[in-house]
């Protein structure tokens, strides 16, 4: 059975590096089968969609949307693929982030650093401190953070060449902060009904916009079984092209 969900409108703890844990193997979102430079518009569209989810030095990504659409898992998968560059710092605002979920998403256990910081002022100081000394950062954004603080963090990310994924717990990011903004469109669950059954597949349709997408809005689909790596779904019919706002 398939369940479909439509889009919904939209104190610091010392970091501890978690070591000596087995990390599940995962295939990257950026599967070479989808990133090769083929001929024709279709191949170029596939390449653009796949490369959009690959972190680059200094890239700022915004994951914007309500809980329950798999954006945390998507963000963890993206920083997991960048773990070879150095430690992966996850700034947890809500206290929900599970190290197990990070390992399953592909973050090596010996590279994972979890920081809990829900106070808006302390949050900005923590993110600023870690950006200059790690490989990549996934940070939930608490309510009440001033736009100026977020803009300074984005500038620091670009200057230090450290990729930064920002996940607001509510609302949106200030305009112009992220080179790539990803929002959920639809979510499909297969194998579960009324809270029972075994999840066999979860497919998430995403809307991607920003400079990375060359100023256009593009649809991307990823899927997984709820426990293993996310995979890009090839051959998605492109949505009508439109210019992104902001």
Is the model's pLDDT at 91 over the cut of 80? yes
3-state secondary structure of 105: coil
Predicted pLDDT of residue 37: 40
Angle at 163 between CA 77 and CA 95, to 5 degrees: 55
Contact indicator for 75, 101 with CB cutoff of 8 Å: no
Q: Is residue 246 part of a domain?
A: no
Is the model's pLDDT at 212 over the cut of 60? yes
Average pLDDT over residues 3-29: 34
Average pLDDT over residues 171-176: 93
- Joined tokens for residue 126: 């923590």
Contact indicator for 102, 110 with CB cutoff of 8 Å: no
Average pLDDT over residues 177-181: 95
| More confident: 51 or 153 | 153
Q: Is residue 24 part of a domain?
A: no
Average pLDDT over residues 108-128: 94
- Joined tokens for residue 214: 């060359």
Predicted pLDDT of residue 54: 87
Residue 129: partners with Cβ closer than 8 Å, 6 or more residues away: none
* Helices (H), ranges, the chain: 32-35, 40-52, 71-81, 99-104, 120-131, 147-160
What is the average pLDDT value for the chain, to the nearest integer? 77
- Tokens 């593009």 found at: 218
Reported pTM: 0.75
Is the model's pLDDT at 11 over the cut of 80? no
3-state secondary structure of 75: helix
The Cα 51–Cα 56 span in angstroms is: 10
Q: Is residue 23 part of a domain?
A: no
Is the model's pLDDT at 122 over the cut of 90? yes
Q: Is residue 5 part of a domain?
A: no
Predicted pLDDT of residue 179: 95
Through-space distance between the first and last CA atoms of the chain, rounded to whole angstroms: 39
φ/ψ of 76, rounded to 5, equals -65, -35
DSSP 196-241: EEEEEEEEEEEEEESGGGTTB-EEEEEEE-SSS--EE-TTPPPPPP
Average pLDDT over residues 83-110: 91
Per the structure, the count of domains in the chain is: 1
Predicted pLDDT of residue 130: 94
Is the model's pLDDT at 204 over the cut of 80? yes
Range of the domain at 160: 40-182
**pLDDT band with cut points at 50, 70 and 90 for residue 88:** very high
Q: Is residue 140 part of a domain?
A: yes
| CATH number of the domain where residue 75 is located | 3.40.50.300
Contact indicator for 139, 120 with CB cutoff of 8 Å: no
Q: Is residue 89 part of a domain?
A: yes
Residue 108: partners with Cβ closer than 8 Å, 6 or more residues away: 23, 80, 83, 88
3-state secondary structure of 47: helix
Is the model's pLDDT at 158 over the cut of 90? yes
Q: Is residue 132 part of a domain?
A: yes
* Positive or negative torsion for Cα 91, 95, 100, 104: negative
pLDDT in tens, 35-47: 334 444 445 555 5
Q: Is residue 112 part of a domain?
A: yes
Average pLDDT over residues 192-215: 80
């Amino acid at each position: 059975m398939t369940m479909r969900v439509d889009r919904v409108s939209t104190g610091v703890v010392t970091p501890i590096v978690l070591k000596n844990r087995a990390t599940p193997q995962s295939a990257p979102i950026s599967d070479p089968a989808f990133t090769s430079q083929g001929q024709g518009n279709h191949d170029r569209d596939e390449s653009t969609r796949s490369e959009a989810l690959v972190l680059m030095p200094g890239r700022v990504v915004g994951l914007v949307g309500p809980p329950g659409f798999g954006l945390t898992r998507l963000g963890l998968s993206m920083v997991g693929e960048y773990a070879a560059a150095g430690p992966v710092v996850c700034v947890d605002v809500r206290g929900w982030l599970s190290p197990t979920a990070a390992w399953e998403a592909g973050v090596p256990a010996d590279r994972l650093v979890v920081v809990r910081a829900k106070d808006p002022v302390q949050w900005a100081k923590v993110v600023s401190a870690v950006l200059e000394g790690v490989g990549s950062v996934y940070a939930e954004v608490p309510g009440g953070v001033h736009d100026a603080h977020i803009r300074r963090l984005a500038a620091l990310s670009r200057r230090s060449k450290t990729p930064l994924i920002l996940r607001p717990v509510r609302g949106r990011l200030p305009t112009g902060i992220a080179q790539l903004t990803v929002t959920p469109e639809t979510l499909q669950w297969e194998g579960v009904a009324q809270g029972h059954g075994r999840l066999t597949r979860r497919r998430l349709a995403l809307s991607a916009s920003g400079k990375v997408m060359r100023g256009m809005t593009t649809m991307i689909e990823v899927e997984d079984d709820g426990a293993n790596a996310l995979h890009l779904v090839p051959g998605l019919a492109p949505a009508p092209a439109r210019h992104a706002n902001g």
